[in-house]
Chain A
Amino acid sequence: MTGQAEERRTLNLNMGPQHPATHGVLRVELELEGESVVKATPHIGYLHTGIEKTGESKLYYKVIPMTDRMDYLAPMSNNLGYCLAVEKLLGIQVPEKVKYARVCLTELTRLKSHLVWVGTHPFDLGAMSMGLYAFRERESIIDVYEAVAGQRMMSTYFRIGGLAEDLPGNFDKVVKKAISDIRQGLIDYNRLLTDNKIFRNRTIGVAKISAEDAINCGLTGPSLRACGVNYDVRKANPYTGYENFDFEIPLGQNGDVYDRYLVRMEEMRQSLRIVEQALDGMPEGPYRAHVPGVVLPPKEDVLSKMESLIFHFKIITEGFRPPRGAVYQAIESPKGELGFFISSDGTGKPHRMRVRPPSFVNLSALPKLIEGALVADVVAAIGSIDIVLGEVDR
């Protein structure tokens, strides 16, 4: 039971893979001295799904549904990353309406992912009601998903060169409801947590990481910005029209759990601003690019025009063939920089698809965060870097 070290006796504790606070099937091997952690080793791979490898044997457009299943809390962000990468490979420009719809929906996705986080993270710290309050607000975003895609979780709504279908008639209404619900929710969470003495005690100064260490670990997303490093792909390398939107990147100072909390809370407010702007500025127009042979033609054309019917048939059965080459496209997913590397050998299937998952890279900073801390801090640290095991293992 106890391992005999040279001088001191330590206790080896396996946290996970079945543990309530590891957010899935993460196993952390802890070496404990009393309640403090001497050494921590995360073990991953319990949720390996082989998405990258499977991608090599599927037609380009058939990879999209698999990307939903990586970070299953932010499916549309994954869709977007993949679609943008393939569009870059093909050199396709999408219509303005598609850009606005994508921004609107990915920001809602960011809210959805952060809401799950603001529910589960304080839940791990013992504030059990937060979990249910946040999931209540998340429901209204799921309703938006349902309205646009018919699916509540694995929406698979984005397509290469556009969207699966046009936005529904009640899009404005459901999104506005989501915005007002979340606004109210944020006020409530603020009241319950931000100045809560116990919550502050549990998070301020806990699992600290310096900006330098964070960069060396490859940390991205809110966890990096909590250290005060101003890096957000949306600003640094704008994609899908983010340069047209007015929003701020919240920064922290101390790089502890509390700053990560504040950064994410502020990000949610900024996301709401972006969603509103996208909704107000939503242009009229087609919901798919007009690229014959690559992007599916509109359904009414398929039913009335011969060329469209042929293209439709050919795209569905044998896909399209992008030129030889390799692209890397990064987006700011709720967890950090989500990158897709796709190499094409000129056939209908990706030669190699590689994902740079933010959760995986952020997880590598975990030992640094928790060594020397207490067992209770391990839970706080895992929660604060906001990982999704589906994305870690892919």
Chain B
Amino acid sequence: MSLTTIAVIAALKVIVFLGAVLTGCAWATWLERKLVGHFQHRMGPSYAGPYGLLQPIADAIKLIFKEDFMPDGAEKIMYTLAPMIAFIPALLSFAVIPFGDEVTIMGQQIDLVISDLNIGILFIFAVTSLGVYGIVLAGWSSGSKYSLLGGIRSSAQMISYEIAYGLSIIGVILVAGTLSMKELVVQQASFFDWFIFRQPVGFVLFVICAIAETNRAPFDLPEAESELVAGYHTEYSSMKFAMFFIGEYANMIAVACIATTIFLGGWQGPLFPPVVWFAIKVFLFMCFYVWLRATLPRFRYDQLMNFGWKALFPLALLNTMVTALLKTIG
């Protein structure tokens, strides 16, 4: 394979994946609104296109044409940078997620992953934890008290849950003996080899922490609309707001992809092609997100912290220790 071919394939993959993810984000908003609507005996979006399917496009057009507002008290540079800092890391994590097995297109063997890093999981954790800076800076630079409180809450929350989040997958890594995302999927070839069965505690911890990491209900304190109006993005409008918005959904999809890859057997499954299986699992995980949001009330700040440090963190440590012990003995 010549260098040119490799470069072209890599560029194509980036374009295709990025397009897929951004499209996914847009229609994840539709999915959420439609599902929550039905949970609540409403129709959800239904005017724009069949089943309201064109709603994301209408939203995008609306957001683009909104006035790009900046409060007087804002720190101009940080205020502009913050949405990008929140947005870009969310997309970066998709670089190492394997969407499917190898396929052959026009005689070329193509891996359905942009880059199969040998430390894939570490890369994801490193990159996604950068997103918190965007939120903190947004809260601080807006010059609004509600934003500030939202920013503070968010930083405290994300830092607290980062630890348990990281620890929750150490068990999997110990069992699998690899950090490569692709290798992890290969190890879950048969149904009962899925890490959700081999590491059930780890999976539960992972899901809880991931929801907290992505600031979703019932951990959506940073943007608790009934308390802080809209939290850190209260003062944002137009495309700057859209960046936060897409960033949040990209994070959700990223978490769904990671959960699928690490715990739910990745692209593997009978009958359908691998990419389809991957999409189905991610879709179901996203529905789970929405279901939680429609059902549960919100934690209080101090309870959230207590829960993170006094329940999740020790449990994650224990899980790691027990796994390590079993691994050494067995």
Contacts and interface: CB of A to CB of B under 8 A. Distances in A.
Interface of A: 1, 11, 13, 19-21, 35, 122-129, 132-133, 136, 192-193, 196, 198-199, 201-202, 374-379
Contacts of A202: 297-300, 303
A199 B218 CA distance: 11
* A13, A21, A125 — most chain B CB neighbours (10 Å): A125
Contacts, number: 86
Contacts of B293: 128
B295 to A, nearest CB: 7
A126 B42 contact: no
A277 B221 CA distance: 45
B294 interface: yes
A126 B298 contact: yes
A374 B300 contact: yes
Contacts of B143: 1
B229 A128 contact: no
Contacts of A377: 300
Contacts of A199: 297
A20 B40 CA distance: 20
B145 A127 contact: no
B295 A129 contact: yes
Nearest to B146: A13
A132 B224 contact: no
A20 B218 contact: no
A126 B295 contact: no
A349 B291 CA distance: 57
B256 interface: no
Contacts of A376: 221, 224, 227, 298, 300-301
Given A125-B298, A374-B300, A377-B300, A20 B220 contact: no
Interface string B149-183: 10001000000000000000000000000000000
A129 B217 CA distance: 12
B226 A20 contact: yes
11 contacts: A20-B225, A125-B226, A126-B220, A126-B296, A126-B298, A192-B295, A198-B298, A199-B297, A375-B149, A375-B301, A379-B226
A24 to B, nearest CB: 14
Contact of A35 (B149, B218, B225): B149
Contact of A374 (B145, B297, B302): B302
B189 to A, nearest CB: 38
A133 B294 contact: no
B297 A122 contact: yes
Contacts of A375: 149, 227-228, 301
Nearest to B300: A376
B297 A198 contact: yes
B296 A196 contact: yes
B39 A129 contact: yes
B41 interface: yes
Nearest to A383: B226
How big is the B interface, by class?
Answer: 20 to 34
A133 B301 contact: no
Nearest to A2: B145
A368 to B, nearest CB: 20
Nearest to A376: B300
Contacts of A35: 149, 153, 301-302
A375 B145 CA distance: 13
A367 B135 CA distance: 32
Contacts of A123: 226
Given A35-B301, A126-B217, A198-B218, A379 B40 contact: no
Interface in B190-227: 217-218, 220-221, 224-227
A22 to B, nearest CB: 9
A127 B220 CA distance: 12
A85 B54 CA distance: 57
Nearest to B299: A198
A4 B296 CA distance: 39
A259 B143 CA distance: 39
A193 B295 CA distance: 10
Nearest to B294: A129
Given A126-B218, A133-B41, A136-B41, A20 B229 contact: yes
Given A132-B42, A201-B303, A126 B226 contact: yes
A386 to B, nearest CB: 15
A5 B145 CA distance: 18
Contacts of A198: 218, 296-299
B299 A201 contact: yes
Contact of A129 (B40, B226, B228, B303): B40
* B39, B225, B293 — most chain A CB neighbours (10 Å): B225
A136 B297 CA distance: 19
Give 4 closest A-B pairs by Cβ, nearest first.
Answer: A126-B298, A21-B226, A132-B40, A127-B297
Contacts of B302: 35, 374
A379 B229 CA distance: 12
A29 to B, nearest CB: 12
A129 B220 CA distance: 15
Given A129-B36, A379-B227, 17 more contacts: A13-B146, A13-B149, A20-B229, A21-B226, A21-B227, A126-B224, A126-B296, A128-B217, A128-B294, A196-B297, A198-B298, A198-B299, A202-B298, A375-B301, A376-B227, A376-B298, A379-B226
B289 to A, nearest CB: 14
Contacts of A378: 227
Contacts of B298: 125-127, 198, 202, 376
Contacts of B40: 128-129, 132-133
A100 to B, nearest CB: 33
B327 to A, nearest CB: 34
B127 to A, nearest CB: 29
Contacts of B218: 126, 198
Interface string B42-73: 10000000000000000000000000000001
